[in-house]
Amino acid sequence: MLRRPLKLMGLFLKVSVLNVAAYRFDMLVRVFVSLMHLVADLGSVWIIFHNTKSVAGWTAAHMMVLVGVFRIVAGGIRILIVPNMRRVLEDIMEGTLDFVLLRPVNAQFLVSIREVVVWRIVDIVLGAAVSAYGCYQLNGHVPIQSVFLFVLMLSAGFTIVYCFWLMLATLCFWFVRIQNIEMVFWNVFEAGRFPIQVYPNWLQWTLTYLIPLAFITTFPAMAGSGDPTKISPQIVLTAIFMAVLMFVLSSWFWRIGLKRYSGASA
């Protein structure tokens, strides 16, 4: 049952590689910029912990895990989510979504996998390396169960971001021009650079339940710290529940939006 979706994902990955191959130098520059971003992130952590031992219960090594997570998630968003959602917005505006709807494949699935910005995988590799190094500093090794929990929590977080984006893109069926919403997203996402524990209570609550940013960066980072007491089963279950709920909700919303779609030229 999963064979065909995987085959299609592989296919679009391949097409993206073909597209990228046309612009090699551009890619080198981008990889370099990506590396610089990571250095800047680590630099700010170093400056903070040069002055203090811990921030809201987070030590420098813990923070490194979080910096890594932030890179991984931001990378993931830029590999798949943002490019695909940008294209959906374009397609809805220009009426080219017709071609998606004509295909004998689930439309939501198809619009979510068409674009893959391959070189951004660099972000995931670098982020994973930094997280792993942080975990190693905390524990002296990288425990396998924490890797498992880390991947699980990251997947939940990533699903939540995806659903959030899908809902934003779906709004386009009603409002047509909403490209600027991407800026709003990145500005809010910036708050995920820091563990939510540094924020006042009301904001912590908001960032957990209203805008579930905590599930996207802080909780995966806690899971990846290698200390099982850091993350309760309750948080893990809530994360999974949130991911499933968001997925159901966003798919439903998408289908409602599709019904409204009328194409640019009728």
Partner 1 sequence: MPQIDVHNLTKTFKVPEREGGVGAAMKSLFRRKQKEVHAVSDVSFSVAQGEIVGFLGPNGAGKTTTLKMLSGLLHPTSGSATVMDQVPWKRDATYLRRISMLMGQRSQLQWDLPATDSFYVHSAIYDIPKDQYQQTLDELVALLDIGGILKKQVRTMSLGERMKCEICVSLLHRPSVLFLDEPTIGVDITMQSRIRQFIGEYNRKHGATIILTSHYMADVVALCKRIIVIDHGRILFDGQLDALSEKLAPFKVIKIDLDRDVGAYDFAALGDVLVRESRKVELRVPRANAPGVAEQLLSQLPVQDLTIEDPPIEHVIEKAFGTKLEKAVDA
Q: Residue 107 or 125: which CB sits closer to partner 1? A: 107
Query: Smallest distance, Å, CB 136 to partner 1?
Result: 42
Kindly state the DSSP code that residue 215 receives in the 8-state scheme: G
User: For 153, how many CA atoms within 13 A lie in the half-sphere containing its CB?
Assistant: 30
Q: Give Cβ neighbours of residue 245 (< 8 Å, ≥ 6 apart).
A: none
Residue 103 engages partner 1 in binding (rule: CB under 8 A)? yes
Q: Is 32 in the site for partner 1 (CB under 8 A)?
A: no
Among residues 28, 33, 35, 101, the one that binds partner 1 under rule CB under 8 A: 101
- Smallest gap from Cβ 235 to partner 1, in A, equals 39
**Of 104 and 233, CB closest to partner 1:** 104
Q: Considering the rule CB under 8 A, would residue 232 count as an interface residue with partner 1?
A: no
Q: Is 233 in the site for partner 1 (CB under 8 A)?
A: no
Per CB under 8 A, 17 contacts partner 1:
no
CB 188 within 8 Å of CB 178: no
The 3-state DSSP class for residue 226 equals: coil
265 binds partner 1 (CB under 8 A): yes
Taking CA 241 as the corner, what is the angle to CA 71 and CA 135, rounded to the nearest 5 degrees? 35
96 binds partner 1 (CB under 8 A): yes
Q: Which of 5, 8, 78, 136 binds partner 1 (CB under 8 A)?
A: 8
Contact predicate 169/88, CB 8 Å: yes
d(CA 183, CA 75): 16
In this complex, which beta carbon is closest to partner 1, that of residue 96 or of residue 232? 96
Ramachandran region of residue 49, left (φ > 0), alpha (ψ -120 to 50) or beta? alpha
Q: Angle at the Cα of 191 (from 160 to 42), degrees rounded to 5? A: 110
Shortest Å, Cβ 111 to partner 1: 13
Rounded to whole angstroms, how far apart are CA atoms 180 and 176?
12
Shortest CB 241 distance to partner 1, Å:
31
The answer to whether 159 and 247 have CB atoms below 8 angstroms apart is: yes
Minimum CB separation from partner 1 for residue 246, in Å?
24
Q: Is 58 helix (H, G, I), strand (E, B) or coil?
A: strand
* Binding of residue 36 to partner 1 (CB under 8 A): no
Residues found near partner 1 in the complex (CB under 8 A): 4, 7-8, 11-12, 15, 18-19, 22, 95-96, 98-99, 101-105, 107, 110, 259, 261-263, 265-266
